[in-house]
Amino acid sequence: MAQQLLEVTDLHTQFFTRDGVVRAVDGVSFEVAAGETLGIVGESGCGKSVTALSLMRLIPVPPGKIVKGTIMFDGADVLKMDDDEVRGIRGNNIAMIFQDPMTSLNPVLTISRQISEALELHLKMDKSEARKRTIELLDLVGIPSAKKRADDYPHQFSGGMRQRVMIAMALSCNPKLILADEPTTALDVTIQAQILDLLKNLAREFRTAFILITHDLGVVAGMTQRIHVMYGGKIVEKADTGELFANPKMPYTWGLLRSIPRLDERRKAKLVPIEGLPPDLIAPPPGCRFEPRCQYRRDICREKEPELVHIPNSKPDHEARCWGTQQGGWLVDTDWHKEVGDTRIIEEIKQEVAQLPPEPKPGDVPPPPAI
């Protein structure tokens, strides 16, 4: 395999609380090549955000702790670095866009100050250079009259504008990887689309790899090349975006696909929610973590946890963690569409995915353009 930009192996992040040890991330492995885009999808509380924060070592310690695993970024293990080295990576090589732009910007500092800070720190710019670059960045993310607005405070910006500022901040030092943690969840739908477009276009333009974390499969559909579905602190399915929508191999993913809403009044069928709640990560189910909520479960699901393995009748890099769809399982030939009723949304997403740009070949990453 070619040299990956990011290679996470067997990551375990736990929170030590009064009630017990919360295994928020429980053995997650994945990799991201330079310039590649990856979606991590799952319900609230399944460990997506903790995974992202772990990559930058931003887990609050205590109560959190990364107890096991390696995070190889650009050939060095983030977990073995000292604090100074990690700070050298944060904001510089890996940047993060947070969920709530209303609270993620400091209310008492100007926008320009908050963006310039990283530029002065990592790129050793002086104040006037940093300011100039800040205005260019604000311009780039579509803030009108950026020069005038640079000295405004966050409360003078709307939610969408603030998220644009966050994107400008993330891009400021030309990072190799951007982690976007539910970047559009706090925004209304029309703004969501704008922000996603902006993020997609800028990441492409800058040749930045990014990991898009969301609970909404509809959001990642047009955005990323690959998707990992997380459930209960583990990755339960890995596939190309197109493959995942065309040929999902895990009942949880089926459930997620059935719960995508659509604006179509002709549609008679109601959204099908996944019954029940995500598992308690202090005492997770002994077998498959999805077993208590799975409508296809059998005894083995409760007794033994399935491995994340390649699934028959699928693309070679398609893996899932399910006894039913594995070789010899009882769901291998199940057509999940039949259980859903209306699948037009899936067809639309498939079309959208077909329009995605081809994946860049590993190692074929031109330097980011100067701006």
Partner 1 sequence: MLRYVIRRLLLIIPTMFFVALITFSLAHLAPGNPFDKNPNRPMPQETIDRISRFYGVDQPIPVQFITYLGNILHGDLGISFTRRTPVVDVIGQGIGTTFQLGIGALAFALAFSIPLGIVSALKQNTMIDYLSMLVATIGTTIPGFVLAIFLIYIFGVNLHLLPFVGWGSWQHMVMPMFVLGLGAGGFLTRITRASMLEAIRQDYVRTARSKGLQERAVIVGHALKNALIPIATIIGPATAGLITGSFIIESLFNVPGMGRLYVISILARDYPIIMGTTLLYAFLIMIANLTVDIVYGVLDPRIKVA
Q: Which positions touch partner 1 (CB under 8 A)?
A: 56, 58, 87-92, 95-96, 98, 100, 103-109, 114, 117-118, 121-122, 153, 155, 166, 169
Q: Is the peptide bond before 362 cis (omega within 30 degrees of 0)?
A: no
Question: Residue 26 forms beta bridges with which residues?
Answer: 12
**Measured from the CB of residue 127, what is the shortest distance to partner 1 in angstroms?**
15
Residue (1 or 108) nearer to partner 1, CB: 108
The four Cα atoms 76, 79, 83, 86 give a dihedral, to 10 degrees, of 50
Q: How far is CA 37 from CA 74, 137, 220, 245, in A?
A: 16, 22, 10, 16
Name 2's Cβ contacts closer than 8 Å, sequence gap at least 6.
33, 362, 363
* Alpha carbon of residue 30 to chain centroid: 12
**Measured from the CB of residue 360, what is the shortest distance to partner 1 in angstroms?**
26
Residue (56 or 66) nearer to partner 1, CB: 56
**Measured from the CB of residue 188, what is the shortest distance to partner 1 in angstroms?**
19
Residue (93 or 225) nearer to partner 1, CB: 93
Place of tokens 């963006």: 115
Residue (121 or 340) nearer to partner 1, CB: 121
Q: How far is CA 6 from CA 67, 72, 127, 239, 342, in A?
A: 19, 6, 32, 17, 38
Residue (182 or 240) nearer to partner 1, CB: 182
Name 80's Cβ contacts closer than 8 Å, sequence gap at least 6.
none
Residue (104 or 225) nearer to partner 1, CB: 104
- Which helix (H) or strand (E) segment is 162 a member of? helix 159-171
**Measured from the CB of residue 180, what is the shortest distance to partner 1 in angstroms?**
12
Residue (160 or 324) nearer to partner 1, CB: 160
59-70 per-residue burial string, b: 16 or more CB within 10 A, e: under 16: beeeebbbeebb
**Measured from the CB of residue 123, what is the shortest distance to partner 1 in angstroms?**
11
**Measured from the CB of residue 60, what is the shortest distance to partner 1 in angstroms?**
9
Tell me the residue length of the chain: 371
Residue (103 or 313) nearer to partner 1, CB: 103
**Measured from the CB of residue 87, what is the shortest distance to partner 1 in angstroms?**
4
**Measured from the CB of residue 293, what is the shortest distance to partner 1 in angstroms?**
31
Question: Residue 39 forms beta bridges with which residues?
Answer: 212, 227
Q: Give ∠ CA 10-199-206 in degrees, rounded to 5.
A: 85
Encoded tokens for 107: 């209310």
245 within 8 A of 226, measured Cβ to Cβ: no
Encoded tokens for 221: 């559909």
- Which helix (H) or strand (E) segment is 222 a member of? none
Residue (60 or 144) nearer to partner 1, CB: 60
**Measured from the CB of residue 78, what is the shortest distance to partner 1 in angstroms?**
13
